[in-house]
Amino acid sequence: MDTQVAIIGAGPAGLAAALTLSRSMMKTIVFDAGTPPRNASSPFVGALPGFDKKPPVDVRQAIRRDIKSYPYARFEDAEITGLQRQDGCFRLTLTDGSIVTAEIVVLATGMTDCLPDLEGLGACWGHSIINCPFCHGIEWHGQRWGIYANRPEVVDAAEIYRHWTDQLTYFLAPEISVSEERLAQIRQLGAEIEHGLPKRVHHKDGNLTEVEMSDGKSIEMDCLLVFPNQRLPELVANLGASLTDAGYVAVDDGFRTSEAGLYAAGDLVYAGHQNTPTALHMGNMAAASIVMDYCFAK
């Protein structure tokens, strides 16, 4: 057996799990595929105590330093392309074809964002186009917000967005059914309603200036809120572990999946308030469960 625990993913959840496991003297390998993290385009991490408004890379490096201060975990810059349970252990296949065996595996790959087809989004994503008001809303407090409503739950949250600004414009996707009663409630908040989604955003150095509709209409805008749909990484989707109705990995209170010895933490188990503090918490809790399960199994 090469290691007690293998962690697939070196984002906040995976790093938090590695730190707790190191402090619990569990031999661990953390696999980092090296792909840009989901928050790579964000200028900072918000609402993380001690690291508020620090760049994401600084947060990750600080946690790595803490992990490396213990002799129990090591990092491998490699992508895992296959994962099988065989002969009482997990066999992880790396991109070069080599095999690493582990007693326990933690899935911390995160989710893949499926960004909408909105011209100009890439230049503004993480800056003036955001996906979490708790993370970045205060930077746009009181300014002109657009709400890209391509999912029903976005329509349900108008009262929350109103907390940050009273200058709201809702862009409703044609396929979203909204009752007249709900439309009236949104208007009562002072929000404008546009039936249709923008096709293009205009910006200056990543700072949004206006959005353009399919009929050519332009609307001045400072900030656009977009909640992208998400999908599981192929490796995780093919494992056979139980999923939730929303398509996330199903876990119990200890972040155990339906497969023995397989744990999961971070965005891939939670469709709700996805951010760095939440992912750190889940990674820590998954690691604690691993240690307790390991001790009771002895």
Dig out the tokens for 106 from the structure. 């933690």
- Predicted confidence at residue 72, as pLDDT, reads 98
What pLDDT, in 10s, does the model give residues 176-232? Answer: 999 999 999 999 999 999 999 999 999 999 999 999 999 999 999 999 999 999 999
- Predicted confidence at residue 163, as pLDDT, reads 95
Span 103-116, average pLDDT: 96
- Predicted confidence at residue 34, as pLDDT, reads 87
- Reported as a pLDDT band with limits 50, 70 and 90, residue 130 is very high
CB atoms closer than 10 angstroms to residue 149: 25
- Reported as a pLDDT band with limits 50, 70 and 90, residue 145 is very high
Q: What is the DSSP letter of 89?
A: E
- Reported as a pLDDT band with limits 50, 70 and 90, residue 152 is confident
Q: Has residue 87 got a pLDDT over 90?
A: no
Q: Has residue 261 got a pLDDT over 90?
A: yes
Span 116-125, average pLDDT: 95
Q: Has residue 298 got a pLDDT over 80?
A: no
Topology (CATH) of 3-113+229-297: FAD/NAD(P)-binding domain (3.50.50)
Rg (CA), the chain: 21
**205 Cβ partners below 8 Å, 6+ apart?**
none
Span 251-255, average pLDDT: 98
Q: Has residue 252 got a pLDDT over 90?
A: yes
- Domain 116-226 bears CATH identifier 3.50.50.60: yes
Domain chopping of the chain, boundaries: 3-113+229-297, 116-226
The DSSP-derived string for 23-52 is HTT--EEEE---PPPTTTT-S-B-S-TTTT
3-113+229-297 and 116-226: same fold? yes
What average pLDDT is seen over the chain? 95
What pLDDT, in 10s, does the model give residues 31-58? Answer: 999 888 888 888 899 999 999 999 999 9
